[in-house]
Structure 1
């Protein structure tokens, strides 16, 4: 390669003009390349020209004059010692509109930056390389690193090329800065030398997901660009799928269209969408040409019209200015998501200098990238390195012999720390990526677009810009977007929000299949009207479904079509008719259909509108309680034994306490005291005060035991006993076509199918031995209806048998084909019907006032529960404790009394011996009374009844 000497250009604007001109010619020729390094006071640019380009420049009088001027002022205006050239590679596809515009923006950024910061000692020397595929991009990166010895690389333009260039930059420690690659696969955390100065695709996923949710759509069709952005798209689609899955949004169909796809292929793919119910389309394409053809053909096919919704990602929203007027007109009503670019004085000045209409976000990102890099280079204080051109050529022979940059780690650190307000907004990197700013929601209307709202990660959607100060800590906007956004114009010039779905070929008329039942017609009743093949369909399930349709925000007219059971068929066979697309003739299935796990995997169910579960019912026999020993059943044998032992214990305690008062009372009589006190509660049965206390405690305990015995005996005598044993049913009945038959077969129980409540009654009345059944297994709604009619004769019970106890199910629900957009709206409508109490009115209409939605299976034993000793353990413990306490207190009282009596006797004897006078009668009577008290006579005896012969009085002398 020939090398030209350096020149100094005084005017930076002239250099910019030259740079534009050379880029234009550079993109249209493949002649040999010449390199020229242009210097000015504020700018250093390394430029490449072909021989023809130089001839054009030399012919241009203005450029020639500038070159002459620069040659004359080399020694006066440029001092190499004061200006350090930092070489930066630029890899772009200059043939593309994005690359051409970005190149011009980079030139303007260099000119503006160094005109403001003229005293900076460093200057970026740009080395542009054209690359339109992976091979050329990788080759350009190797050449820039080994030959040009660049310290950083800006670009490349798309993700496929960026993967290889980032790998090379990581091994050579050269930062690779991309302002256009949005792929989520190129995480900077995997390669610390790769920096994204634009928003990755993942930054808009939360906004798009929230937008779809807020608009009430649950199923979306995705159309994305394949081939050139394959890595970006395949990275975007899995991330989008995960985000939608967490938000319960279904991707019903995904279409990958290449930018080189023929119109017939695109038309065929779009034609398939007409046969689907989903009418919400998410478009993720980067090619302006593909976007133009896509929307043009979509209008021709007829899927960009009233009732449809289209959303485009920022990959297309950012380049709307590059689309022609015809394409914009065909995109009328489309919603878009893109980063918000705040208005600023610098941006207005840039637009004035730009003088073009095709400015986009990538141009602004490229401009800010150059400013960030130039600022980081100046802060790093690059040393002036003198390079040898020959040595660098020798080191570039092999890929493994990459030059390792010594300034790379420090430069990466400085770039990540750089923060300023650029043309595209705040430049702030986090984890090697541009931090998610405010996103704006646009609506394509007329010849351009208008902003209808904004979104931030913390505050959600808003009509005006929400700053960090307005957000506050954890502030979240919970209002629906209908109340937040400005009025939106939808496709077809409609102001009404699309439903997001449609029934192809049927308009708003639903083909609803209903099962034909021979019994339990209160739920579904299908009657044919003459021979016209028209049907009158009524019943509880039908009215609930109609009430749900009336609660929808849009009008639907159902067409009920009868569904007859095949021979030996079940309800699952009816549900299977909703599966498949070619053989399916129904849009919904309405009736007493149970939500089960095996069915949920094939179709979509609404929320249950009626509880369900399998229980069993048996016949009541009230005359089974004929037992001569029934009076013993309220108490268990251990409780009876405990009561007897307690009575003996109380008797012994009373004999012990009464021995001082009535020593002549027989021991056998005291044993009968506890029982006699219950029947003959006399006041003076015992004389000792502690014995009376024990007797009161015993009576209290006996009263509790008698009351408990009476209550339990009443329960046993009044509760009817059930036949047969709930633990071992011999044969059972169930409703025909129900899944209960399969359940009984797995339980190895002999089973017979029936179709009506009358057959249930007859079978249970006969019993298994007489050709009937002993028990009926069915779901709760049918059993409640059966008991409502025959409630006095039958009773539901639970069982200890595995599989025979109450089995829970999902309840009754309406079935829809898998992926049907009707399931979510109908489920919401069912909740509305239930909350307003309409479903209770429908239940009363068909089932009567005695029917209730609340249900609890009973568990009744044949013999009834007996009370055990453990049930009264606390009562026996308290009684025993108080009894023993009375014994201890009585004995202590007796010992204390004996001790006092002994002391009184001694004092009396001493006093009589010392006295010479004979005591008077009054003193004799007082002493006699005290003696009686000392001897422990606690009975109330008058002084006149005292016998002198029974009292020993000492007179002091004989």
Structure 2
């Protein structure tokens, strides 16, 4: 015998099987009904109980009127299990309809299972295990768990990142919202910042809980309460000025489905609430007919109620009674057969699948406005798998954002802007921001305490950037810097433990720290580099004399020189007998003159003005080229060519070399776990100066620094050290906040604005400029001279020589044909007779 059976027996013995349980017999003089009798347990004191009673009576009357079938209905207002035993044993009901809450339904489910009587629950949510434990239990109302996805979609629409859940401290409300909402929030990247459980039996704690919530940053509240408790809650929230600007209140179906029943004085305390409730097609003829008749009957039976409209739960109850009556049209041999028939029956929106009605697919989004004549506006709908829409017909346009629905009346009035969903702490509690004191690079963050004035000064690039970022926020953010003397991982953990609200400094974004905190967009370049000393490259310098000019330059100088020499030789050969020597001698003269600085023929002078003109320009160009060559060669010979002492990480590991990193950094674990260094080969240093001294003493062979720190280090020691090897991909620096902090998206946006405005680059350049040093240029292709530097001179001398040559040829034109013909005959004759003496004989003939 389990707990439920034992409880039922005890109560039955205490009250007696014939006790008056407040039942109302609707069985028409106890005549035997062809269809049987339906039992129902209702709470006649609640709004839903009143709606439920009217809906069931209407269903029984309509079944008889439209089908001729007489179904009995026995209702009891008692909420005890004794009432269920009485309905089964005394009233001989064939099925039982249970109250609205699962707590009440679960007590009766065991009794129905023992008696093999179908029990239909119209609770919002029935646990998954319930129908397996009690085979005769049916969930007769659509499961509302899908509404948590609708709520998550609302949160995502307005870019809120945290939600506080306020729920009734009963099992069905805990299991019916928290697991499903947690999953839905995780899908959109939002978090549940707080869980607040309110007792349905003790309203005295409302002020205490609301006061605590008022001091929190999160301003988005999901209220999952029953109607009576929700009414008390919102009245108290109104008294504490929490229904004002910047607050967001979202309600679920247990309250929203009955908000139409509230009077004006209560509604006035709830202006601005966004509600999610199950949807019933109100334009349907079935609903319209039901709605008209329900209002008339409900107002007659409950004149004390201000609003006579039915809620969706009343319509669902009406459909459930119809479904059971249809299943009882033929007499059954027992509860098992009736259970089977109920599961096969279908009426309107009620059809069972695996002993449950299909989950709700469409939810209506409402906005409580609380004005005279209208308690709420219908903003639109959310459909499972589709999104938001203004209508539900075939022409509906769907969108993932609620922003495309009708305008929202937010708490505080329609003129208010969209709430950002959070607020900064009160002025008495500004943000407590940790600043590292052990940064090895004081240019990034520097903490100095003045003992005379007892004032701590915070300076550096990270501090300046944070101040610039805060200045660009759309709201006022108050904060205080607090020095932290510890390593960076410990500092990030303190944010997780809520001892700090943020961290500002040179904190690298790495995966390990994400389990404790959240980062803004990185404000520096990402990466990890190896820095090593430099040395002069001992390369072969024997060919340095050709380095001043490129290959193309050398070829062009040689070609123009030979060309100019040929032109001068051709013009001057008639005036100088020595130029009429053998062919080889004359070719030697041409080549020699091509590289002679001053052209002279054994001290003689040029005889032709044409040759003088060509030579004058040629000598000027040669002078420029000579002087440029000498200057560039001198520069090359005096510049040291530098190279890193270590080129890769493998050589460090193979040589068992010592390496260094900055104190407090994540780099140690990266060197061990990723780059496979032995921990005993790693040393830590407190400052850039210590890094440099250790490298000079060869205490370490290399130091590993994040890219932004490496820039500063090399700016100060650019003549001694250089980066080597690849850049390892790790996160840059970012500001740190607690996980799920609503500040992160706003600070990130402001940080991006600072970057896009150019202010970030300005601050970074100023920081690096303070450490900048100059160094000699290395010998590379950029220092070599090419023809592009002298093309004007080459064109000048080449064109001058060509003009001289053309003028000379024109003057000698009358002798041209004779010379060519004579030259051809001589060549042919001597080539045939004596090939060895051919060149000299040709020359003599010419």
Name the TM-score, length of structure 2 as normaliser: 0.66
Whole-Å separation in 2 of the counterparts to 1:163 and 1:806: 64
Whole-Å separation in 1 of the counterparts to 2:168 and 2:275: 16
Residue 488 of structure 2 corresponds to residue 571 of structure 1: yes
Displacement of 1:313 after TM fit? 0.8
Aligned to 2:158: 215
Structure 1 residues 722 and 375, CA gap change in structure 2 (3 angstroms): same
Whole-Å separation in 2 of the counterparts to 1:187 and 1:550: 56
Whether the 8 Å contact between 1:317 and 1:338 is mirrored in structure 2 is: yes
Aligned to 2:613: none
Structure 2 gaps of 5+ residues are: 1-17, 300-304, 543-639, 773-846
Aligned to 1:888: none
Displacement of 1:549 after TM fit? 3.8
Displacement of 1:224 after TM fit? 0.8
Q: Secondary structure at the match of 2:417?
A: coil
Structure 1 residues 563 and 260, CA gap change in structure 2 (3 angstroms): same
Q: Secondary structure at the match of 1:451?
A: strand
Whole-Å separation in 2 of the counterparts to 1:190 and 1:719: 81
Q: Secondary structure at the match of 2:166?
A: strand
Whether the 8 Å contact between 1:86 and 1:122 is mirrored in structure 2 is: no
Pick from 561, 566, 585: which aligns with 2:481? 561
Aligned to 1:382: 330
1:504-515 mapped onto 2 (5 Å cutoff): 504-506=425-427, 510-515=431-436
Structure 1 residues 624 and 763, CA gap change in structure 2 (3 angstroms): farther
Whole-Å separation in 2 of the counterparts to 1:741 and 1:383: 80
Q: Secondary structure at the match of 2:210?
A: helix
Aligned to 2:799: none
Residue 247 of structure 2 corresponds to residue 308 of structure 1: yes
Residue 212 of structure 2 corresponds to residue 294 of structure 1: no
Q: Secondary structure at the match of 1:520?
A: coil
Whether the 8 Å contact between 2:227 and 2:258 is mirrored in structure 1 is: no
Q: List per-residue Cα deviations over 1:171-193 (Å, max 9, x = no partner).
A: 65543223344344466577664
Displacement of 1:833 after TM fit? 5.6
Aligned to 2:606: none
1:204-283 mapped onto 2 (5 Å cutoff): 204-226=147-169, 229-263=170-204, 265-283=205-223
Whole-Å separation in 2 of the counterparts to 1:492 and 1:534: 45
Structure 1 residues 809 and 788, CA gap change in structure 2 (3 angstroms): same
Q: List per-residue Cα deviations over 1:810-836 (Å, max 9, x = no partner).
A: 431211235532124334544566677
Structure 1 residues 763 and 384, CA gap change in structure 2 (3 angstroms): closer
Whole-Å separation in 2 of the counterparts to 1:177 and 1:145: 14
Q: Secondary structure at the match of 1:150?
A: coil
Pick from 218, 224, 241: which aligns with 1:284? 224
Whether the 8 Å contact between 2:537 and 2:641 is mirrored in structure 1 is: no
Residue 123 of structure 2 corresponds to residue 203 of structure 1: no
Whole-Å separation in 1 of the counterparts to 2:262 and 2:717: 75
Whole-Å separation in 2 of the counterparts to 1:743 and 1:405: 67
Residue 629 of structure 2 corresponds to residue 720 of structure 1: no
Aligned to 1:439: 363
Residue 754 of structure 2 corresponds to residue 814 of structure 1: no
Structure 1 residues 176 and 350, CA gap change in structure 2 (3 angstroms): same
Displacement of 1:254 after TM fit? 0.9
Whether the 8 Å contact between 1:732 and 1:749 is mirrored in structure 2 is: no
Whole-Å separation in 2 of the counterparts to 1:546 and 1:280: 28
Whether the 8 Å contact between 2:432 and 2:501 is mirrored in structure 1 is: yes
Whether the 8 Å contact between 1:92 and 1:131 is mirrored in structure 2 is: yes
Q: List per-residue Cα deviations over 1:741-773 (Å, max 9, x = no partner).
A: 6777983445555454444334323323xxxx3
Residue 694 of structure 2 corresponds to residue 767 of structure 1: no
1:471-510 mapped onto 2 (5 Å cutoff): 476-478=398-400, 480-491=401-412, 495-506=416-427, 510=431
Pick from 330, 341, 347: which aligns with 1:410? 341
Structure 1 residues 236 and 93, CA gap change in structure 2 (3 angstroms): same
Structure 1 residues 794 and 153, CA gap change in structure 2 (3 angstroms): same
Pick from 357, 367, 371: which aligns with 2:322? 371
Aligned to 1:601: 515
Displacement of 1:225 after TM fit? 0.8
Whether the 8 Å contact between 2:251 and 2:273 is mirrored in structure 1 is: yes
Q: Secondary structure at the match of 1:122?
A: coil
Whole-Å separation in 1 of the counterparts to 2:268 and 2:322: 37
Aligned to 1:465: 391
Whole-Å separation in 1 of the counterparts to 2:243 and 2:212: 14
Q: Secondary structure at the match of 1:720?
A: strand
Whole-Å separation in 2 of the counterparts to 1:843 and 1:255: 46
Whether the 8 Å contact between 1:578 and 1:588 is mirrored in structure 2 is: yes
Whether the 8 Å contact between 2:270 and 2:370 is mirrored in structure 1 is: no
Residue 93 of structure 2 corresponds to residue 156 of structure 1: no
Displacement of 1:791 after TM fit? 4.3
Q: Secondary structure at the match of 2:420?
A: coil
Pick from 274, 298, 317: which aligns with 1:335? 274
Q: Secondary structure at the match of 1:297?
A: helix
Whole-Å separation in 2 of the counterparts to 1:522 and 1:384: 88
Residue 722 of structure 2 corresponds to residue 795 of structure 1: yes
Q: List per-residue Cα deviations over 1:687-712 (Å, max 9, x = no partner).
A: xxxxxxxxxxxxxxxxxxxxxxxxxx
Aligned to 1:59: none
Whole-Å separation in 2 of the counterparts to 1:532 and 1:488: 52
Displacement of 1:382 after TM fit? 0.5
Structure 1 residues 786 and 167, CA gap change in structure 2 (3 angstroms): same
Whole-Å separation in 2 of the counterparts to 1:780 and 1:126: 80
Q: List per-residue Cα deviations over 1:236-287 (Å, max 9, x = no partner).
A: 2222223223332221211111111141x22222222233211111111114
Q: Secondary structure at the match of 2:395?
A: helix
Whole-Å separation in 1 of the counterparts to 2:360 and 2:753: 38
Displacement of 1:484 after TM fit? 2.9
Q: List per-residue Cα deviations over 1:201-234 (Å, max 9, x = no partner).
A: 30211100111111111111111112xx423433
Structure 1 residues 843 and 302, CA gap change in structure 2 (3 angstroms): same
Aligned to 1:110: 60
1:699-778 mapped onto 2 (5 Å cutoff): 720=643, 722-723=645-646, 725-727=651-653, 728=655, 730-740=657-667, 747-749=678-680, 753-768=684-699, 773-778=700-705
- For the aligned residue pairs, the C-alpha RMSD in angstroms reads 3.9
Whole-Å separation in 2 of the counterparts to 1:191 and 1:830: 58
1:316-715 mapped onto 2 (5 Å cutoff): 316-341=255-280, 342-343=282-283, 344-346=287-289, 347-355=291-299, 357-358=307-308, 359-377=310-328, 381-383=329-331, 404-414=335-345, 417-418=346-347, 420=348, 426-427=349-350, 430-431=353-354, 432-447=356-371, 448-462=375-389, 464-467=390-393, 469-470=394-395, 476-478=398-400, 480-491=401-412, 495-506=416-427, 510-516=431-437, 520-525=441-446, 539-546=460-467, 548-549=469-470, 552=473, 554-559=474-479, 561=481, 563=483, 565=485, 569-581=486-498, 584=499, 586-623=500-537
Q: Secondary structure at the match of 2:38?
A: strand
Displacement of 1:36 after TM fit? 9.0
Aligned to 2:843: none
Whole-Å separation in 2 of the counterparts to 1:255 and 1:207: 21
Structure 1 residues 277 and 597, CA gap change in structure 2 (3 angstroms): same
Q: Secondary structure at the match of 1:407?
A: helix
Aligned to 2:595: none
Whether the 8 Å contact between 2:279 and 2:362 is mirrored in structure 1 is: yes
Whole-Å separation in 2 of the counterparts to 1:247 and 1:850: 45
Whole-Å separation in 1 of the counterparts to 2:23 and 2:167: 40
Whether the 8 Å contact between 1:614 and 1:778 is mirrored in structure 2 is: yes
Mark the structure with the bigger radius of gyration. 1
Structure 1 residues 89 and 836, CA gap change in structure 2 (3 angstroms): farther
Whole-Å separation in 1 of the counterparts to 2:167 and 2:358: 24
Q: RCO greater where, 1 or 2, for CA within 8 Å and sep 6 or more?
A: 2
